[in-house]
Amino acid sequence: MINVGVLGATGAVGQRFVQLLAEHPWFKLTTLTASERSAGKLYRDVVKWRLDVPFPESIGTIRVSPTSVSSLKDVDLVFSALPAEVAKETETACANAGLAVCSNASSHRMEPDIPLVVPEVNPDHLALIDVQRDHGRDGFIVTNPNCSTIVMTLALAPLRGFGFHSIHVATMQAISGAGFEGVPAMGIYDNVIPYIGQEEQKMETETLKIMGTFEQKTVRPAAYRVSASCHRVPVIDGHTMAMWVDIQEPVEKVKEAFIRYKPPIKGLPTQPKESVHFMDDPDRPQPRLDRNRGNGMTVSVGRLREGIRFIAMGHNTIRGAAGASVLNAELISSKKYL
Ligand code: A2P
């Protein structure tokens, strides 16, 4: 077992890390950190645990540590659910101190020597870990993309062979993506918020890095044009997106590609049986019905029409955040980087 910690363990994504790591077959969760407000207290006393997920009692008695390298003496790997502004410095300090860092924060995603990985889409980009080591780092940072970008790139992965160039996407994003205190209840119910800070830019840039080509110790970005419009809707979990991709092939051929898709990885504990699930029903996928498919790790795709147009939906705090990062850690571990 590898001892692991979670940075920012009391937040919306931090809780999901705790949920996924409490019974993990390869990783033993020993350390939880948060802000000075929570440090020194028992996890069960400071976390506002979600009502719809059973609380892992064994973790509840861990005393929350301050977020600093000195709190992480007995771990080899840390998962970061820190706010971006705190993550930048803290994650760098952890990696420089020899730790492996799997981060859900956006701060380091676009740095040239930091892998931005969705294991089913670009597992080969982990080779950037060697580049970080060439740069003199004892540990390393591996990031996962923004939640919407993960759902979108997984939906695009089966279609790569069609050689598309242009992607248009309109998202309908859940409120859990904004963090526990993120969206006031009085602002979101009976409403749609037509703006999510930085989200469109992240979808438009991160996608090119993830779907780019690793060559000569660097990633050459994919030559796609991505145009995104992002919106917050009153759904608790599950980001839904309408997508338009410039594929000229008939719908039947595209459907075949979704159904036959096999990702280039296997045997990782958090990996779902199906990374992408194709649905023929005219009114699916829906967040309430489909977000927990594959323990929240499967992206569901449906309403495939000429154009090519379709709907993709995935669990934003599991597939789009903590689960993505845990799957990255499993891939790293299976490749003997730890
Ligand atoms: P705390 O609960 O003590 O504030 P969310 O984005 O859902 O609000 O979660 C943010 C997470 O990051 C929480 O665990 C929060 O801890 C932690 N956090 C916020 N600010 C800091 C900080 N300045 N230093 C360390 N941890 C922080």
The verdict on the CB of residue 253 being under 6 Å from ligand 1 is no
Note whether 242 and 170 are within 8 A (CB). yes
Contact between 167 and 227 (Cβ < 8 Å) = yes
Active site residue 230: no
Pocket flag, ligand 1, residue 86 (CB < 6 Å): yes
Assess whether 108 carries a catalytic annotation.
no
Structural domains in the chain? 2-146+321-334 (3.40.50.720), 147-315 (3.30.360.10)
Ligand 1 pocket mutation, candidates 37, 43, 80, 82, criterion most atoms within 8 A of CB: 82
- Residue whose CA is at the smallest distance from ligand 1 atom 23: 35
**pLDDT of amino acid 179:** 83
Is residue 67 within 6 Å of ligand 1 at its C-beta? yes
- Ligand 1 atom nearest residue 180's Cα: 7
Q: How remote is the CA of residue 33 from the centroid of ligand 1, in Å?
A: 9
| Nearest protein CA to atom 27 of ligand 1, as residue | 35
Per-residue pLDDT tens, the chain, 338 aa: give them. Answer: 999 999 999 999 999 999 999 999 999 999 999 999 999 999 999 999 998 899 999 999 999 999 999 999 999 999 999 999 999 999 999 999 999 999 999 999 999 999 999 999 999 999 999 999 999 999 999 999 999 999 999 999 999 999 999 999 999 999 999 987 889 999 999 999 999 999 999 999 999 999 999 998 999 999 999 999 999 999 999 999 999 999 999 999 999 999 999 999 999 999 999 999 999 999 999 999 999 999 999 999 999 999 999 999 999 999 999 999 999 999 999 998 98
Give residue 148's Cα distance to chain centre: 9
The answer to whether 9 and 33 are in contact (CB under 8 A) is: yes
Helix, strand, coil % in the chain, rounded to nearest 5: 35, 20, 45
Give the other-Cβ count within 10 Å of 266's Cβ.
8
Q: Are the C-beta atoms of 2 and 338 separated by less than 8 Å? A: yes
Give the residue whose CA is nearest to atom 10 of ligand 1.
11
In the prediction, which pLDDT does 155 show?
98
User: Which of 15-53 are b and which e, b meaning 16 or more Cβ less than 10 Å from the residue's Cβ?
Assistant: bbbbbbbeebebbebbbbbbbeebbeeebeebbebbeee
Instruction: Tokens for 7, please give them.
Output: 């940075």
Task: Give the orientation angle of helix 199-210 with respect to helix 147-156, to 10 degrees.
Answer: 40
Q: How does strand 140-143 pair with strand 166-172?
A: unpaired
Q: Name the catalytic one among 147, 230, 277, 315.
A: 147
Residue minimizing CA distance to atom 17 of ligand 1: 8
Cis peptide before 332 (omega within 30 of 0): no
Please give the number of the atom of ligand 1 that sits closest to the Cα of 39.
3
pLDDT at 163: 94
Q: What is the residue-wise DSSP string for 15-82?
A: HHHHHHHTT-SSEEEEEEEE-TTTTTSBHHHH----TTS---HHHHTSBPEESSGGGGTT-SEEEE--
CA of 43 to the centre of ligand 1 (A): 13
pLDDT of 318 reads 96
DSSP state of 193: B
pLDDT of residue 180: 79
User: Could you give the 3-state DSSP secondary structure of residue 220?
Assistant: strand
User: What are residue 228's phi and psi, to 5 degrees?
Assistant: -120, 145
Q: What is the pLDDT of residue 40?
A: 98
- Which residue intervals of the chain are DSSP H helices? 12-21, 43-46, 57-60, 84-96, 128-134, 147-156, 185-188, 199-210, 251-260, 287-290, 323-334
